[in-house]
Amino acid sequence: MNHKLVKKHSKFLSLLLRHKPEVIGLELDKQGWTSVPVLIDKMNTAGRPIDLPMLELIVQENNKKRFSFNADKSMIRANQGHSIAIELGLEERVPPKQLYHGTAKRFLHLIFEGGLKKMSRHHVHLSADKSTASNVGARHGKLELLLVDTERMYADGHKFYCSDNGVWLTDHVPVAYLQLV
């Protein structure tokens, strides 16, 4: 299968399932799920040829595990990172003692003024390992890696969730819990 086409479709799928399903007239339910046959039909109609094997490959090979099928692969959704109103049904979890957040150096002054904010998304995204956080942060410019004292945050009453793809989520990380690595 054409790797460039798979990557292009993965980006488009991310746009549809996380931000703008209306681009092709797609509808998501309250939990962000949509019908796989409807998605395939609407993508093909919109000039983005795709079939179930390609969709399965995108879900399987996405390095950030952004997408999930339901048990019978009749429905699909993005695991997190939405800018649209959906309810993922995540349960509160006890986080590891520390997590990481990768960012661009140009954002550090804002982060150390107001902490990590969810901005247009539902949550702040945190990673359990440095390499994942580094990969995410490097996309935005010169990488800076932040260590988050999640043990202390959790003890202080902050809530954490873990998405199906292992991304840790919280509403806000105040400056007091951040340290430059």
Closest by CA to 163, choosing from 29, 85, 65, is: 65
Domains located in the chain, CATH noted? 3-78 (1.10.10.970), 99-180 (3.20.170.30)
Select the more confidently predicted residue: 45 or 84: 45
Lowest average pLDDT, out of 45-49, 87-91, 140-144, goes to: 87-91
Task: Supply 15's token pair.
Answer: 């746009």
CA 66 – CA 174 distance, rounded (Å):
26
Residue 162 has pLDDT above 70, yes or no: yes
Phi, psi of 155 (to 5 degrees): -60, -30
**pLDDT tens digits, residue range 19-46?**
999 999 999 999 999 999 999 999 999 9
Those residues whose C-beta lies under 8 Å from the C-beta of residue 114, and which sit 6 or more positions away, are 175
Mean pLDDT of the chain: 92
3-state secondary structure of 19: helix
Of the chain, the percentage scoring pLDDT greater than 90 comes to 73
The DSSP code sequence of 90-130 is: PPB-PPPS-EEEEEEGGGHHHHHHH-EE-TTSSSEEEBSSH
**pLDDT tens digits, residue range 120-130?**
777 899 999 99
